[in-house]
Amino acid sequence: MFEFIKKNIYLIILFIITLSIGFLTFLTFIDKGFIELTDKNLQILLVLNIILLAALFVFIFIEIKTAIKNDIDKDGLTSNKKYITYFGLFTLIPSVLISIFSLFLFSFALEKYFDKKVTTVVNNSYELAKNYVDEIRNKIQSDIVLIAFDTNKSKKFLNDDTNEYRRFLNTQKLIRNVDEIHIIDLNKKLLFTTLRDDQPYIPPVDKALNLVLDDDRPLKIINAPENISAAIMRLQNFEDRFLYVVKYLDKDISKYLTESEEAINFYYTVEEKSTGIKISFAIIYIIVVSVLLFVSISIAIRFSSRFFRSINNLILASTSIGEGNLDTKVPEVKTDKDLEKLNKNFNLMIDKLKNQQEKLIINERHEAWGSLARKLAHEIKNPLTPIQLTIDRLKNKYSSELDKQNSENFRENLKIINNQIKQIEKLVNEFSDFARMPKPILLNNNLVTLIEENINLLNELDKDISINFIHSNEKIFLECDNEQLSRVFLNLIKNSIESIQQKGQNLSNFDKNITIELNDNDSQICMIITDNGIGFGSFNNNIKDLLNPYITTKKNGTGLGLSIVNKIVNDHNGKIEFVPIIDGAKIKITFIK
């Protein structure tokens, strides 16, 4: 999700700006925005909306085109593009239908909103609230006249007695249904009142008092924000005294009146700008639908590329395998777990096919070389015995007849012939061994013991060479033929010793080391032999040729040793690898349990 946002950050910013301008246009049409509702401002906002909407469409088109090019076209699958098209259409068609239906529904609802009955109700509700307030405020004028009349008439009775005034005014308060009655002087000082001592007194404004100084008529005072309706009147029978009466409106009535006025103003504003509101609503809807469509298509492209890329890789790999290339691998890409498992299993299948092919080739090669070795051993061995007998006869017959100098030369030549015959016999024996390789007898053997026995045996060949054996466990068991694997270890370690000795002929002053590592994992046993000898020489680029018969890196080698080793390892469900290193050689053998 974070990667998607980061990748489309500019598009998201453009979407937010476009959507904000769309909402601002809508609010301006209904006169609720911070921009003044004028024709010029509305024209500017609409033009800006069109420009941003066009930019949004262009940006979406470019992003989708780029995504298709990067994630779809490079895979080259027609089905991939087809599914993307279907997915886009399945998203687009319902979105368009819903948009049309929503716009129609909004337009219908807006028309119903301005129905004549609704307009009548709106107007009447405001008039009722206004009339109620006016009635309350007008009534106080008649109330103050009656209170003033009774007060003037009771002048002698009251006689400026505070208690009498309080009782009189409280009676008037109950009879006239008002909330406060005050008698004040020219300075608005409170002379007598119905208020209790803990209640605050709010005097009338100066302007109101000035208006009734020389006028006997009552003056209505309106203070709607504080829900107060009041009146003031001069008392004719008193000198410089005024009657001030206060009536509290319902605490929410002014609020209702204000809200009703705002509502009716809003109602007629919306009615006047209904076409613009529809346009701005359509713009907002198009913006939202466009972005949702882009998101859905982007998800479709991402999903499709993840899915079909794996399918495409499998198709290409299977085609390559069909052509005989078992070095093919299905690239490991991030996709669904099932497809990742399929890719992994496919690669494992390729590895197994490759291993089986290599084993089959090795077996066929060994059978061919074995057949050839048997014939060569037979054909070479037959004349060796007559040759050896003939040499013995020549030695016995002519040694005594020759002078001393010729006799020595004669014996030396015969010795050379004997040595060459022994070399031929050794080669014939190796041919026979290679041809008569028996099937392994598998028993549970401890490889640690087997390797240590061979190390102890080979340590006697060269005391200057240090052989370091590292093993993960004291006992590492494998179902194997003890004699054949012992031959493998003996041959490989001996090769390392001879490689180091051969290097020592040209370079005497260096540390001679052989390291043997044996590790037991859950599914396999791995053995690594590393030495700092002459390495693989000219075979670094064609390392597999070392496994072919009669190929060797040693001066006097026959080239059959590694072929025999490879055959034995292969018969034990193993694999041998030659790894060139900078200073020496590394051989890795892996046995599958």
- Taking the C-alpha atoms of residue 559 and residue 552, their distance in angstroms, rounded to an integer, is 5
Mean pLDDT value across residues 538-559:
58
Q: What is the CATH number of the domain that holds 452?
A: 3.30.565.10
User: Which residue, 385, 407, 436, sits at the end of a domain?
Assistant: 436
What is the bridge-based pairing of β-strands 466-471 and 228-234? Answer: unpaired
Domain count, the chain: 4
Assess whether 404 and 450 both reside in one domain: no
Mean pLDDT of 243-256: 77
Do 396 and 508 sit in the same domain of this protein? no
Distance CA(265)–CA(273), nearest Å, equals 12
The whole-number average pLDDT for the span 454-481 is 89
131 class by beta-carbon count within 10 Å (0-12 exposed, 13-18 middle, 19+ buried): exposed
Contact between residue 234 and residue 242 where contact means Cβ atoms under 8 Å apart: yes
3-state secondary structure of 140: helix
Average pLDDT over residues 427-451: 79
Amino acid 562: pLDDT? 79
Q: Is the pTM of this model over 0.85?
A: no
584 and 457 in a single domain? The answer is yes
Q: Which residue has the higher pLDDT, 485 or 294?
A: 485
Contact status, residue 544 vs residue 580, Cβ threshold 8 Å: no
pLDDT in the model for residue 242: 92
Q: For residues 152-175, give the mean pLDDT.
A: 87
- In this prediction, residue 224 carries a pLDDT of 46
Q: Is 489 a domain residue? A: yes
What pLDDT shows up at residue 445?
Answer: 92
3-state secondary structure 22-35: HHHHHHHHCCCCCC
**Mean pLDDT calculated for residue range 556-562:** 62
Question: Which tens digits make up the pLDDT trace of 169-219?
Answer: 999 989 888 889 999 998 889 899 998 887 888 888 888 888 888 888 888
How far, in Å, CA of 145 to CA of 270, rounded? Answer: 46
Among 183, 548, 225, 227, CA closest to 361: 548
- The answer to the question of residue 55 being in a domain is yes
| Residue 324 counted as domain residue | no
CATH (domain of 151): 3.30.450.20
Which pLDDT does position 587 carry in this prediction?
A: 92
Task: Taking residues 540-569, report their average pLDDT.
Answer: 65
Q: What is the dihedral of CA 560, 565, 571, 577, to 10 degrees?
A: -120
Q: Give the E-state strand segments of 464-583 in sequence order.
A: 466-471, 477-480, 513-520, 524-531, 574-581
* Segment of 98-107, 146-155, 332-341 carrying the highest mean pLDDT: 146-155
Q: Which amino acid is at 387?
A: I
Q: Would you say residue 390 has pLDDT above 50?
A: yes
Q: How far apart are CA 30 and CA 271, in angstroms?
A: 9
pLDDT of residue 468 exceeding 90 = yes
Q: Are residues 282 and 364 in the same domain?
A: no
- Quick one: 419 and 481 in the same domain? no
List the one residue out of 41, 21, 43, 46 whose CA is nearest residue 31: 41
Q: Show which of 436, 462, 485 is a domain's final residue.
A: 436
pLDDT band at 51 (very low <50, low <70, confident <90, very high): confident
pLDDT greater at residue 379 or residue 156: 156
CB 580 within 8 A of CB 553: no
Q: Domain for residue 224, yes or no? A: yes
Q: Are 555 and 458 in a shared domain?
A: yes
Asked if 529 and 586 count as a contact pair (C-beta separation under 8 A), the reply is yes
Mean predicted confidence (pLDDT) in 313-340 = 73
Do β-strands 513-520 and 466-471 pair in parallel, antiparallel, or remain unpaired? parallel
Question: Is 80 exceeded by the pLDDT of residue 1?
Answer: no
pLDDT at 354: 78
For residue 310, count other CB atoms closer than 10 A to its CB: 24
Same domain, 96 and 161: no
Note the pLDDT of residue 305.
65
Share of the chain above pLDDT 90, in %: 11
Query: Which carries the bigger pLDDT value, residue 305 or residue 154?
Result: 154
Domain range for 151 is: 140-260
Alpha helix stretches (DSSP H) within 323-468: 337-398, 404-435, 447-458
* Residue 98 reports pLDDT greater than 50: yes
For residue 524, which of 451, 593, 444, 466 has the smallest C-alpha distance? 593
Q: Give yes or no: residues 455 and 535 share one domain.
A: yes
Helix (H, G, I), strand (E, B) or coil at 243: strand
Token pair of 309 as six digits: 């890329």
Claim to verify: residue 147 and residue 108 sit in the same structural domain: no
Residue 277's nearest CA partner among 18, 34, 37 is 37
State how far the Cα of 552 lies from the Cα of 536, in Å rounded to an integer: 9
Q: Give pLDDT tens digits for 60-87.
A: 677 666 766 665 555 545 556 666 667 6
Rounded Cα distance between 593 and 476, Å, is 11
Average pLDDT, the chain: 76
Summarize the confidence of residues 380-404 as an average pLDDT.
75
* Residues 426, 499 within the same domain: no
Residue 445: inside a domain:
yes
Q: Please tell me the predicted confidence (pLDDT) of residue 336.
A: 66
Q: Give 498-524 pLDDT, tens digit per residue.
A: 888 888 888 878 889 999 999 998 789
Last residue of a domain, one of 399, 420, 436: 436
Reference 136, options 209, 13, 38, 220; nearest CA is 220
Both 476 and 554 in a single domain?
A: yes
Query: Rg of the chain's alpha carbons, rounded to an integer?
Result: 56
In the chain, the amino acid numbered 24 is L
Q: Is 487 contained in some domain?
A: yes
Amino acid of residue 337: K
**pLDDT value, residue 225:** 47
- Give the separation between CA 255 and CA 267, rounded to whole angstroms: 18
| β-bridge pairing 466-471 and 574-581 | unpaired
